[in-house]
Amino acid sequence: MTEGRAPRSRLTRRRSERRAEREAKWFYGTLGGQVPEAGPARETALALQGRLQSTTAFDRGALSLRYAKKDWPAPIQEEFGNAASLVVRLECAMHPSVGASTEALEAEAVRRLCARIARRSDSDEALLARLFVRAKRHCKRAIRALAKTRETRASGAEEAFAVSQTTFTADGALAADETFAADEACAADEAFAKESA
């Protein structure tokens, strides 16, 4: 605990996270993840975009998938609700394909998910539940990361926070430590898929 600062209460953290949820929903859902060219929302959107940039690309992706509007087939929408887009992408990650478009990968993931939903075997149920839980966990982590950016900016340490969250190699690629969590999760999903097959 930092000297002179009281620990945050759960209520304070939850309020901060609820605010971050509303901000992400507004930015990705209402604005489509874009800062308006002009108008009263521009300054707020710019500030929020700056805070989002201080989170990891993985967290920004989770928030975008969670709040951006996209229509999915009824079985997927009914099964996963507001986590459907993230579940589809997680399922895509279990079946990597070089050179295929995002749309093609998502179409295949939708086909596989709909087949699993229709079959409902024990292994299908286990995988569907695992994907749903992982999607919710990723969203929660991303919301917490966004909520923390407000605290960090308020404390005057935004520069140090941004540097600690973004590590690049000499050629400009994202360093391995940033992608570790995503790589570890994908490896776990691949292992689970092999066990379920």
- Residue ranges of domains in the chain: 10-196
Number of H helices, E strands in the chain: 9, 0
CB-based contact 152:65 (threshold 8 Å): no
Task: Name the pTM for this structure.
Answer: 0.71
Note the pLDDT of residue 127. 97
- Backbone φ and ψ for 184, nearest 5 degrees, come out as -65, -40
Q: Report the chain (197 residues): mean pLDDT per 10 consecutive residues.
A: 60 93 96 93 94 97 95 97 97 89 95 97 97 97 95 51 33 32 38 42
Note the pLDDT of residue 171. 33
Note the pLDDT of residue 172. 31
Note the pLDDT of residue 96. 82
Distance from C-alpha of 67 to C-alpha of 25, rounded to nearest angstrom: 5
CB-based contact 90:189 (threshold 8 Å): yes
Q: How far is CA 32 from CA 63, 64, 92, 98, 140, in A?
A: 11, 9, 22, 28, 20
